[in-house]
Amino acid sequence: MSRETIQQRFRELQSYVGWTDLDAARVVMAAPLLEPHLPSIVDDFYAEIERHPDAQHVITEGAAQVERLKQTLIDWLRELLSGKYDEAYAARHWKVGYRHVAIGLSQIYTNMALSRMKKGLLRALRESWPGDEATLLNVVESLGTLLDMDLALIQEAYESEHNALLQRTERLATLGQVSGGIAHELRNPLNAIKTSVYFLSRAKNPAPEKTAEHLERITRQVDGANRVVTALSDFAKQPAATLSPFSLRECLDAVIATQPPPDNIALTISVADDLPKLMGDCEQLQIAFSNLLRNAADSIDDSGEIVVTAELQNGEVLISVRDTGCGISRDDLPRITEPLFSTKARGIGLGLAITKAILEKHGTGLSVESAPGEGTTFSLKLKAEA
Ligand code: HEM
């Protein structure tokens, strides 16, 4: 936060509590009376810290650091009592919260320590006060208000820096998670390609069918790697959808041509020939259907069935993709469309998040029903051409 913004926040605090130059003058009046007590107040401050391990653990350099900190705290108190509350003052006092986040001190200890220090200051003031009671009460009020404002400033600095730190940590964790997922997804096809290339470059007079098999394998693995890259760029781009009439049958055929189901899965597309055209962005919907079909296939271990149905209902078409795979647990169900959430051993967790985003652009959503051990049905509705 810039010095000007910090100063603005400090002014805002002053305005809220009705701080005036008279309060500042009263604090200045108290300063010489408090000066002789500052060392003992600061000693008490550090003696108490020693009794609390969670506060004490931030003292990492022993007695020398404590001596330095005592001097820092005395300087802080002198500045507090100086009566000069300008931009430099606000910036230095803001820095306390900022520094405490850096050393990993919980804000609670600052609150407690300040409360204890306030008690010490007010007691010292009462004990050394030479004037009348009414003026003393006014000075106590002004000093108390100043300490409250300082605590608010330190606390705000603490929260703002703490949140920034959390965001940085989360961003790094996300980056790690995504990189790990991508690395995993790309390493497998790359290894398979390497093995085939090794065979093709070393084999002496390989049988033509063997060569064809390896070339086909390389093509398949390149397609797989390409899909990962496409998923990532789809997620990054998320272009606007262009809605126009399209044939669901042709859209699904295009998906199946590039992503045929494995041999262990029986795929049935049950779309009536007279189904009206749908309104949508066929290219983007191909990504959505390809994700649903891939998930369905991935959920089937040995052998199973995937059935795609489409049914006209009041000007809309209900499309369902049902599989007889392992199903989704009740706990995972609410999270499956979250980006980076995946239950697969290999999987970045972007497929359903992209699918959901594409359907949202069509003004529709994705619903899911699942029975663990029995299978899952994903359903969505698209408008039929008017
Ligand atoms: C009224 C409450 C407190 C105030 C006003 C305060 C004030 C300060 C100030 C002015 C600094 C120096 C900031 C800078 O780098 O410019 C600082 C740093 C620090 N504070 Fe506090 N503090 C308070 C509570 C605590 C507590 C309860 C602990 C617990 C051990 C603590 C431990 C530290 C440590 C370890 C540093 C880093 C010092 C270094 O650089 O060695 N503070 N504090």
d(Cα 378, Cα 352) in Å, to the nearest integer?
11
pLDDT for the residue numbered 338: 84
Strand extents, DSSP E, 160-303: 244-246, 265-270, 278-280
pLDDT for the residue numbered 345: 65
Domains detected in the chain: 3-171 (1.10.490.10), 180-233 (1.10.287.130), 244-383 (3.30.565.10)
d(Cα 14, Cα 20) in Å, to the nearest integer?
8
Compute the half-sphere exposure of residue 29: CA atoms within 13 Å on the CB side of its CA: 18
User: ∠ CA(323), CA(249), CA(347), 5° rounding?
Assistant: 40
**For ligand 1, atom 24: residue with the closest CA:** 110
CB atoms under 10 Å from CB of 183, counted, come to 10
Say whether 308 sits in a helix, a strand or coil. strand
pLDDT tens column, 71-124: 999 999 999 999 999 999 999 999 999 999 999 999 999 999 999 999 999 999
pTM beyond 0.85: the answer is no
State CA 252 to chain mean position distance.
35
Pocket, ligand 1, Cβ cutoff 6 A:
49, 55, 58-59, 65, 69, 72-73, 76, 95-96, 99-100, 103, 105, 109-110, 113-114, 117
How remote is the CA of residue 99 from the centroid of ligand 1, in Å?
A: 7
pLDDT for the residue numbered 200: 94
State CA 35 to chain mean position distance.
48
**For ligand 1, atom 28: residue with the closest CA:** 55
Compute the half-sphere exposure of residue 255: CA atoms within 13 Å on the CB side of its CA: 22
| CA neighbor of 344 nearest in space, from 284, 314, 300 | 300
Beta bridge partners of 268: 307
| CA neighbor of 31 nearest in space, from 77, 87, 96 | 77
For the chain, residues with pLDDT lower than 70 are 345-347
What contacts 34, CB < 8 A, 6 or more positions away?
77, 81, 121, 124, 125, 128
Q: Report which ligand 1 atom has the smallest distance to the Cα of 117.
A: 1
For a substitution probing ligand 1, which of 99, 118, 143 has the most ligand atoms within 8 Å of its CB? 99
pLDDT for the residue numbered 346: 63
How remote is the CA of residue 96 from the centroid of ligand 1, in Å?
A: 6
Q: Report which ligand 1 atom has the smallest distance to the Cα of 69.
A: 38
How remote is the CA of residue 35 from the centroid of ligand 1, in Å?
A: 20
The CA-atom distances, in angstroms, between 107 and each of 25, 95, 175, 258, 292 are 30, 13, 29, 57, 48
